[in-house]
Amino acid sequence: MIDKNKIPAHIAVIMDGNGRWAARRGEARFLGHKKGVDAVKRIVDEASNIGVQYLTLYTFSAENWKRPEEEIKALMSILITSFNSEIERLKSNNIRILVIGDMDSLPDDVQKTLHQAMESTSRNTGLSLVLALSYGGRQDIICAVRKISLDIQKKKITLSDISRELFRNYLSTANIPDPELLIRTGGEYRISNFLLWELAYTEFYFTRTLWPDFGKEEFQTAIIEYQGREKRFGKTSEQVRRNNY
């Protein structure tokens, strides 16, 4: 059973397996993505219900632009349709929408939909649903380095000012706590250029379940497994136990 006193504040999810889910049924890939939206709804609802503060979904990576054009168009269409149909429910459930990634690279109608969703939910105080769109961890780090370099040139900061804390403030996740738990569905065991800086001390949960089949019960299982682990941050187990008393 989940310990309500140890709910991870931030859970990140790599939603993998939509295409394979469809292929196993002899369906087109976009049908797998449509079915994946149902899994998103289930997990967002459950995360909100149990008190997760941030839920970050790897929705569309920077590398996904390499996919067939018709699949990309289908994904963007599903994104718009999903927001148009779900925005009122998100607002009524006190859920706030945030986006990380290169929004400027998205189609204009997608950008418009996202900006409207973020604006209309900006005052909500419950779960923050963070969508990683056209996002890549390496790209985000490079962008942060460029911003720091410009601020050094402008004499806003000096080399000696650079620290982990300062660097973090230049990332797209600056105002979001690091994930405590990463879930990846679909049976792969890699992080695929996702939140490279932020996952330094994150606990990982991998499952062979394809994303459209991922539900409330396995989401809870991932959290229970997380709650049973010991996070040491470089210390020994004895040090951690002493600090907890």
As a whole number of angstroms, the distance between CA 232 and CA 139 comes to 29
Q: Do the Cβ atoms of 36 and 212 come closer than 8 Å? A: yes
Q: What is the torsional sign of CA 232, 235, 238, 240?
A: negative
Percent helix, percent strand, percent coil in the chain, to nearest 5: 50, 15, 35
16 is catalytic: yes
Structure tokens at 173: 């996740």
Instruction: Say how far apart CA 22 and CA 18 lie, in whole Å.
Output: 6
Give φ, ψ of 61 to 5 degrees. Answer: -85, 165
Opening angle at CA 5, ends 118 and 13, nearest 5: 45
Q: Tell me how far apart the alpha carbons of residues 174 and 141 are, in angstroms, rounded to a whole number.
A: 12
**Which is catalytic among the residues 3, 5, 16, 49?**
16
Which entry of 45, 64, 124, 193 is annotated as an active-site residue? 64
C-alpha span between 175 and 171 (Å, rounded): 9
Catalytically annotated residues = 16, 64
